Amino acid sequence: MTNIFKDAFGASPVQSGFTPGRVNLIGEHTDYNGGMVLPTALKQGLSLSLSPRADNIVRIASDKFKGIAERDVSQSRTDDWSDYVLGAIIYANKAGFLSGGADVAIETSLPIGAGLSSSAATIVGLLKLARTEAKGAVSDADIAVLARRVENEFIGVPCGIMDQMAVAIAQPGQALALDTKSLGYDLIDLPDDYHMAVIHSGVYRQLNEGRYKERKEECDVVKAHLGLEDICLISDAKFETLAGLPDHIIRRARHCMTEHRRTIKAVNLLKNNNMRDFANLMIESHISMRDDFEITVPQLDNIVEDAVKFGALGARMTGGGFGGCIVACVKNEDLNAMNEQLFARHKDAFFVG
């Protein structure tokens, strides 16, 4: 990472670090509705380097893009890849970690547009480096909250807190059982004899293209109707009061409610190493995302179905939806055979980790 920084800016960085990506095992679109989520950190992620500048210029070098992007902390977003770095630096200034611009270098082992939180890892990682530079005492959870503000307020994605908390707190091999209402969490070690295989469908998407926002707004209709923010926590009786709303709105609410309950069950099953029942909940989660929340696409549905057919105990789409990755729970000894058959049938798909 230091070499990339030196090549771009002619000096060594002041701060460097690594931030993992994340894959969500279960609990999709519950984090902005007061529900439970269960992401895990990946071995793949982002190596980041930063040096503060005395002026307001932000220069960015990345192994995924040619040249050096140059922005100014007075600028608004431009729907360019560099917005995530610029937003992180702007909010690092607001938090008192920095007092101007920065030179930033990024090297990533995460595929872009995969739903593995490369954006959250970029923002969290840079905020952590800026915190270190300022010798700040801000907690990792507070860094995650600040990073969410960058995505909500600067980038314009109405995401919840899951991604930021996962990449700020969890380490590879750990799942983060997170109550997104209270921000209370447990770290759970994943079993050694199973692999949570992350497979890219070959379908790419961006969360700021509007469909994620549309689902958030549909959930807001339910919240307004019930006068409640935490629609994941509604009772069966409260759910019945939605009968007069349009069918697709009712189905959005049903996904949030049932996904939250599935995730609570999944946390307990994982703690007790009951992976077969855990994997069944993954399958139920995918069906709910497909039929009630309508965020899958045919390629994802087919890969999930085939992953189970070829040896996985369970599988589901992971991430915001409309493309990206699946995650499959598979015994270690069955992983290679599953992958061989899966990629023979799905030519655009590829193994992430």
The pLDDT tens digits for 117-147 are 899 999 999 999 999 999 999 999 999 999 9
Residue 126: how many CA atoms within 13 Å on its side-chain side?
34
Helix 335-345 and helix 298-309, axial crossing angle in degrees, nearest 10: 140
- CB within 8 Å of 94: residues ≥ 6 apart: none
Just give the CATH number of 194-351.
Answer: 3.30.70.890
Q: Under a CB-based contact definition with an 8 Å cutoff, are residues 271 and 191 in contact?
A: no
Using alpha carbons, select from 269, 317, 312, 325 the residue that is nearest to residue 296: 317
pLDDT, residue 331, reads: 98
The pLDDT mean for the chain works out to 95
Helices (H) and strands (E) in the chain, counts: 11, 11
Asked if pLDDT for residue 256 goes beyond 60, the answer is yes
What is the distance between the alpha carbons of residues 184 and 182, in angstroms, rounded to a whole number?
Answer: 5
Asked if pLDDT for residue 209 goes beyond 80, the answer is no
Asked if pLDDT for residue 1 goes beyond 70, the answer is no
**Residue 278 CA from chain centroid, whole number:** 20
Q: Under a CB-based contact definition with an 8 Å cutoff, are residues 205 and 113 in contact?
A: yes
Sheet holding 325-331, edge to edge: 314-318, 325-331, 194-200, 350-351
pLDDT, residue 97, reads: 98
What is the distance between the alpha carbons of residues 263 and 261, in angstroms, rounded to a whole number?
Answer: 5
* Integer Rg of the chain from CA: 20
> Which one-letter amino acid corresponds to residue 269?
L
Using alpha carbons, select from 61, 128, 131, 138 the residue that is nearest to residue 98: 131
What is the distance between the alpha carbons of residues 146 and 149, in angstroms, rounded to a whole number?
Answer: 5
pLDDT, residue 168, reads: 98
Q: Where in the sequence numbering do the catalytic residues fall?
A: 163
> Which one-letter amino acid corresponds to residue 179?
D
Poorest-pLDDT segment among 18-27, 90-99, 177-186, 208-217: 208-217
What is the distance between the alpha carbons of residues 87 and 90, in angstroms, rounded to a whole number?
Answer: 5
The pLDDT tens digits for 90-115 are 999 999 999 999 999 999 998 776 77
The pLDDT tens digits for 145-196 are 999 999 999 999 888 999 999 999 999 999 999 999 999 999 999 999 999 9
Mean of the pLDDT values across residues 334-341?
A: 98
pLDDT, residue 114, reads: 74
Asked if pLDDT for residue 206 goes beyond 90, the answer is no
Mean of the pLDDT values across residues 236-260?
A: 98
Provide CATH 3.30.70.890 ranges for the chain.
194-351
Provide CATH 3.30.230.10 ranges for the chain.
2-189
Q: Under a CB-based contact definition with an 8 Å cutoff, are residues 229 and 223 in contact?
A: yes
What is the distance between the alpha carbons of residues 231 and 193, in angstroms, rounded to a whole number?
Answer: 36
> Which one-letter amino acid corresponds to residue 173?
G
Q: Under a CB-based contact definition with an 8 Å cutoff, are residues 98 and 133 in contact?
A: yes
The secondary structure of 179-193 as a DSSP string is ETTT--EEEEEPPTT
pLDDT, residue 210, reads: 74
Cα-based distances in Å from 340 to 9, 306, 330, 336, 343? 43, 12, 14, 6, 6
The pLDDT tens digits for 269-318 are 999 999 999 999 999 999 999 999 999 999 999 999 999 999 999 999 99
- CB within 8 Å of 68: residues ≥ 6 apart: 8, 59, 60, 61
Question: Sign of the CA dihedral 201, 206, 207, 210?
Answer: negative
Q: Under a CB-based contact definition with an 8 Å cutoff, are residues 21 and 44 in contact?
A: yes
pLDDT, residue 111, reads: 79
Mean of the pLDDT values across residues 310-332?
A: 95
Cα-based distances in Å from 205 to 177, 210, 321? 26, 11, 8
Band the pLDDT of 208: cuts 50, 70, 90: very low
Q: What percent of the chain has pLDDT over 70?
A: 98
* CATH top-level class of 2-189: alpha beta
For 55, phi and psi rounded to 5 degrees?
A: -95, -165
Q: Which two tokens stand for residue 289?
A: 């995302």
